[in-house]
Amino acid sequence: MVCIVLLMSIGHALLGLLEGGPRHGYDLKRAYDERFGQDRPLHYGQVYSTLSRLLKNGLVSEAGVEAGDGPERKRYAITDAGVTDVERWLGTPEKPEPYLQNTLYAKVVLALLSGRSATEVLDTQRAAHLRAMRDLTRRKVDGDLADQLICDFALFHLEADLRWLELTAARLDALAEEVAR
Amino acid sequence: MTTLLSAEGLHKSFGKTSALDGAGIAIREGEVVAIMGPSGSGKSTLLHCLAGILPPDSGTVTYRGQDLTAMTDNARSELRRTEFGFVFQFGQLVPELTCLENVALPLRLSGMKRKDAERASRDWMERLEVDTVADQRPGETSGGQGQRVAVARALVTAPKVVFADEPTGALDSLNGERVMHLLTTAARETGAAVVLVTHEARVAAYSDREVVVRDGRSRDVEFVR
């Protein structure tokens, strides 16, 4: 199964989840894993270290202790500063990544410079990309709407790579001439 | 898995333009194969030769041990009607007929009684989630519905191979995905092989493997099964 890396601030995600009401660490981890964890569930250590950072920065506060069957569990609540922080985060666009210094481009150029087959490099990559896309498509077909949206995000990015691979394959002769100069 | 349909050394030119230059391919029973490649690479010509629609200038196309290129036109037409199903990008439904009559058409052409043909067609229209437009004409349906009606028509004869040439080319992403999901699911359930020509990687990702055509020559990029 393809691993989907959610490039997201865990702190902001936890703050966002706390906007629904105070929770303890275990509950937060469960909520995070259910919504965003997919193949990468949070470690307990990550949850507690993030919560202690948020606490130190005044974005969450302790909201009592929950008694249960096991050990007592501290509950956390979002503060006004925390709400402001979530609002700022949601309203700030993520930096679009231009991927200018691409490894694939370097591989193609180095293959051409060394007299190796750049077509082979492109085709090998193409097969790997399509294999990943098939895995995602199967996962999407079997999954719920959240799975579909997450997989679609990855699929559109992989498709963009594939279009570049195809275009580069069509321009290899011209590129070979240019790198030979 | 047994090879169902294969082509070797296909050459095909249109005037002075060479479309296929020694292409070959093997399709196994029940697999979904995507033929990809840049515009003008010869991928649609390869599909048309495989389906017996276009005769190659040289080379052979073999379906279950029979050489398609050596058959008479009538025998090839009969084969296409009974063993193959087709889905194209545009203009494949008869505008004067209702969607139900369109789906039933290949069965009627094979001599099935109207009542039986329409019953079988309704079942397929339900599976493709277009039973609600059964009594409408193709012009009264959306693009996605029209393509799903075309898929129902391609599958109603229980073909061994479905040829799909850019079946989602005129659809938006969501409708395209729905058509691909329903087409490949139905084909896998019935054991039909699908030969899919597409330039979209997200569409090709519904296949089991990919064959790339460049400059009229084909190349297996990956075998999954």
Q: What is the pLDDT of residues B156-200, one digit of tens each?
A: 999 999 999 999 988 888 889 989 999 999 999 999 999 999 989
Minimal C-alpha gap between A105 and chain B (Å)? 20
For position A72, what pLDDT does the model report? 63
A6: pLDDT strictly greater than 60: no
Q: Is B181 exposed, middle or buried (0-12, 13-18, 19+ CB in 10 A)?
A: middle
Q: From A133, which residue of chain B is nearest by alpha-carbon distance? A: B205
Minimal C-alpha gap between B216 and chain A (Å)? 14
Closest CA to B26 of B4, B48, B44, B59: B4
Subunit contact B210:A170, Cβ cutoff 8 A: no
For position B170, what pLDDT does the model report? 84
For position B29, what pLDDT does the model report? 94
* Positions of chain B with pLDDT under 70: 91, 219-225
Sheet holding A73-78, edge to edge: A23-24, A73-78, A60-66
pTM for the model stands at 0.81
Q: From B224, which residue of chain A is nearest by alpha-carbon distance? A: A131
Confidence of residue A53 (pLDDT cuts 50, 70, 90): very high
Q: Tell me the CB-side half-sphere exposure of residue B192, using CA atoms within 13 A.
A: 26
Q: Which of B206, B214, B221 sits opposite A137 (nearest CB)?
A: B206
For position B37, what pLDDT does the model report? 85
A179: pLDDT strictly greater than 90: no
For chains A and B, what is the number of CB pairs under 8 angstroms?
44
Mean pLDDT of the region A62-72: 74
The class level of CATH for A10-91 reads mainly alpha
> What distances in angstroms separate CA A39 from CA A66, A177, B74, B162, B223, one per listed residue?
30, 44, 55, 36, 26
Closest CA to B7 of B51, B73, B71, B53: B51
* Domain range list for chain A: 10-91, 103-180
Q: Across-strand partners of A24?
A: A75
Place of tokens 């193709």: B138
A172 has a chain B CB within 8 A of its CB:
no
Subunit contact B205:A127, Cβ cutoff 8 A: no
Closest CA to B187 of B148, B164, B155: B155
For position B132, what pLDDT does the model report? 95
Confidence of residue A101 (pLDDT cuts 50, 70, 90): low
Subunit contact B38:A127, Cβ cutoff 8 A: no
On chain B, the residues whose CB falls within 8 A of the CB of A133 are 201-202, 204-205
Q: Which of B205, B212, B219 sits opposite A155 (nearest CB)?
A: B205
A136 has a chain B CB within 8 A of its CB:
yes
Closest CA to A135 of B205, B94, B7: B205
| Average pLDDT over chain B, rounded to an integer | 91
For position B118, what pLDDT does the model report? 95
User: In the CATH hierarchy, which fold is given to the domain comprising B3-222?
Assistant: Rossmann fold (3.40.50)
Subunit contact A130:B222, Cβ cutoff 8 A: yes
Q: Which amino acid is at B88?
A: F
The separation between CA B145 and the C-alpha centre of its own chain, rounded to angstroms, equals 17
A62: pLDDT strictly greater than 90: yes
Q: From A162, which residue of chain B is nearest by alpha-carbon distance? A: B201
Helix (H, G, I), strand (E, B) or coil at B70: helix
Q: From B178, which residue of chain A is nearest by alpha-carbon distance? A: A141
Subunit contact A134:B219, Cβ cutoff 8 A: no
Q: From B200, which residue of chain A is nearest by alpha-carbon distance? A: A159
Confidence of residue A81 (pLDDT cuts 50, 70, 90): very high
pLDDT-above-70 percentage for chain A: 91
